[in-house]
Structure 1
Amino acid sequence: MKLSTKGRYGLRAMIDLARYSEDEPVSISSIASRQAISERYLEQLVALLKKAGLVSSIRGAQGGYVLAKEASEISVGDVLRALEGSLEPVKCAAFYSEEGCLAAGGCVTKYVWQKINDSINDTVDHIMLDELVEESKKVNPAGGCEEPQCSQP
């Protein structure tokens, strides 16, 4: 499975938002600056996260964005599914189609695909945003981009 920039950048933005929005709403421009992400692209990601009920916007001069739930209630899976859709690397017709697939009767690989799908979902559903915020504080006390290729502000 390979995540797109939507998932990677969106997760970084959510960690940043969780880390910096405890006292006041956070602006798109401040997240973009810290995470080295284009503001325009970040706006698109935040719109998807808002639609999924993970982010709320606050209007006004001191406005910005905050988490819609506690960071301990938001899983990596919630974020990735909001941005990427299904996380399944293989969508096996044997499990999702009323007709199944032509090879379903003698196919044993469907069990492999199901185990991979289950493992991915189990993993991302058990890593919570608050855990990543704490890890972020240890690894990068000054804040900013978490990935090595990012330029630090």
Structure 2
Amino acid sequence: MKLSTRGRYGTRALLELALHQGEGPVLLRDIAERQQISLSYLEHLISPLIAMGIVRSVRGARGGVLLAKAPEEVKLSEIIQLLEGSIAPTECVTNPGVCTRSEFCVTRDIWDELKKVIDGVLEATTLQDLVERHKRKEQPEEVMYHI
């Protein structure tokens, strides 16, 4: 089970907007450059995010895109659901009718538990959490010299 580029790149683009929250609109080409995402692919990803009210587009000379909500209000579960749909490890987890063994299948129980854990992490993580993680990773650790 892997997230597609839609989910990964979409999350990275939204992180970029969250990092620049309060600074005004950000140009898509700047996001594409900083996150190493094709501009045409990024334009394709932004459309559903605008339609769902996560991103707002601003036209004009100082236009671009920005978050329509505060970073702490945008959960990764919302982003991934919008861009990926269900990320169940197997189809039978979300649609038991596809398998005649679903009622007594022990492995399906494991896949269901896995989905619940993934859903829990995505539900508990916001763009603000990613901003804070980003800042921690950017700060070089202090070097201590012992004499």
1:43-100 deviation line (CA, Å, top 9, x unaligned): 011112112321111111111111111100111111112111111111216x635x57
Work out whether residues 21 and 65 of structure 1, in 8 Å CA contact, stay in contact via their aligned partners in 2: no
Quote how far apart the aligned CAs of 1:104 are.
3.4
Provide Cα deviations, 1:74-130, integer angstroms capped at 9, x if missing partner. 11111112111111111216x635x57422343222321211111110111111100
Tell me the amino acid that sits aligned with residue 95 of structure 2: Y
When the two structures are aligned, how many residues end up with a matched partner?
139
Specify the code of the residue in structure 1 equivalent to 2:20.
Y
Partner of residue 120, structure 2: 122
CA RMSD of aligned residues (A): 1.8
Maintained 8 Å contact 1:56/1:65:
yes
Secondary structure of 2:53's counterpart equals: coil
Residue 133 (1) aligns with residue 131 (2): yes
Which structure would you say has the larger Rg?
Answer: 2
Runs of 4+ in 1 over 4 A off after TM superposition: none
Segments of 5+ residues of structure 2 without an aligned counterpart are: 140-147
Is contact 1:90-1:117 (8 Å) kept? Answer: no
Corresponding residue for 2:8?
Answer: 8
Q: Which residue of 2 aligns with 1:147?
A: none
Question: Does 2:47 align with 1:47?
Answer: yes
Matched position secondary structure for 1:106? coil
SS in 2 for 1:86: coil
Identity of aligned residues (%): 40
Q: CA deviation at 1:137?
A: 2.2
Q: Please say if residues 75 and 127 of structure 2, whose CA atoms lie closer than 8 Å, have aligned partners that are also in contact.
A: yes
TM value normalised by structure 2: 0.84
Q: Which runs of 5+ in 1 are unaligned?
A: 142-153
Higher relative contact order (CA 8 A, sep 6+): 1
Instruction: Please give the secondary structure, in 1, of the residue aligned with 2:91.
Output: coil
**Contact 1:18-1:129 within 8 A present in 2 as well:** yes
Structure 1 residues 25 and 105: CA distance shift in structure 2, 3 A = closer
- Distance of 1:134 and 1:108 partners within structure 2: 39
